[in-house]
Amino acid sequence: MKGLKNTMKDFLNALMIRIVPALGAALIRLIGLTMRIKKVNTVAYDSLVEKGQNAIIAFWHGRLMMMPYVYYGKGATILVSQHRDGELVARAVKGFGIRCVRGSTTRGGLEAMVALVREAKAGRDVVITPDGPKGPRYKAQMGAVQLAKITGLPILPVTFGASKKKLLAVGTAL
């Protein structure tokens, strides 16, 4: 009986890993289609894009959902935790052409940092949530700063906001 229970649990987990990311990506696209998007204060990033340069894009963990939809650079690689929730995010953003590096401050951090440096040197934007999934919320850890020191890339803080009756605002807070 225990074997059957584990088999069923494994089946449901595998099903969730395949279905939830596809539904998440579809939901992001559907929500995006209902919005009017307005970029605000994007001069710094637009200048980098125009010159063919990349950056470290940092936004709070709680602002993750619509970022794949509004990203407009030449290619991005995002740092995603090795937790199962991170797998869902990694699979969902893949449909937007965004690569993932897996790791966090608590697991796989050094390997992730090396991979992010490699991606940055290859000319891709590197995307980090500096407060991470475990927080503390809205308190940046040192990962983005360390990555900037190693790569020489600027850190561009970005946010996303939406209002029922106003235009959506996306842009750097520089």
Low-confidence winner among 36-40, 117-121, 153-157, 168-172 (lowest mean pLDDT): 168-172
Query: Who's near 41: CB < 8 A, 6+ residues apart?
Result: 171, 172, 173, 174
| Highest mean pLDDT: which range of 70-79, 106-115, 163-172 | 70-79
pLDDT tier, 174 (very low <50, low <70, confident <90, very high otherwise): very low
Rounded distance between C-alpha atoms, residue 147 and residue 56, angstroms: 8
Band (pLDDT 50/70/90 cuts) for residue 5 is low
Query: What confidence tens digit (pLDDT) does each residue in 42-95 have?
Result: 898 999 989 989 999 999 888 888 999 888 888 999 999 888 788 888 999 998
Q: Give the bridge partners for 104, in sequence order.
A: none
pLDDT at 173: 46
- Give residue 145's pLDDT: 93
